[in-house]
Amino acid sequence: MPTVAVADLKDGDFLLDVREDDEWKAGHAEGALHIPISDFVARYGELTEAAPQDGRVHVICRSGGRSAQVTMYLAQQGVDAVNVDGGMQVWEAVGRPVVTDDGQQGFVL
């Protein structure tokens, strides 16, 4: 399973958040694409439209379990995807910004 640490992510890296709607609304990484794992296969086209051509997709969830499943699926589709180790819990713990849809300070649910 290809994995990357939160600390290794750079500004501008493409981030796919696969948490559910209530988790997303509580707080997320600014600029991330949100496709809940429960809708992922049906909404796969949204990812292919938004992801950079020949770019890497960094997949994140709360702790790394759901994002690992999506990362494996994407790899099977030939997508360069990596799982973000520790997910949004580590993202928040290391001080990366967590925001709501209106730009306010958010939190990880």
Q: Long-range pairs for 34-43 at CB < 8 Å and ≥24 separation?
A: 37/61, 37/66, 37/69, 37/70, 40/70, 40/73, 41/73
CA–CA gap between residue 61 and residue 101 (Å, rounded): 17
**Residue 18 annotated to the active site:** no
Q: What angle do CA 60, 40, 15 make, to 5 degrees?
A: 30
**Active-site hit among 61, 68, 79, 84:** 61
Place of tokens 């379990």: 65
**Catalytically annotated residues:** 61
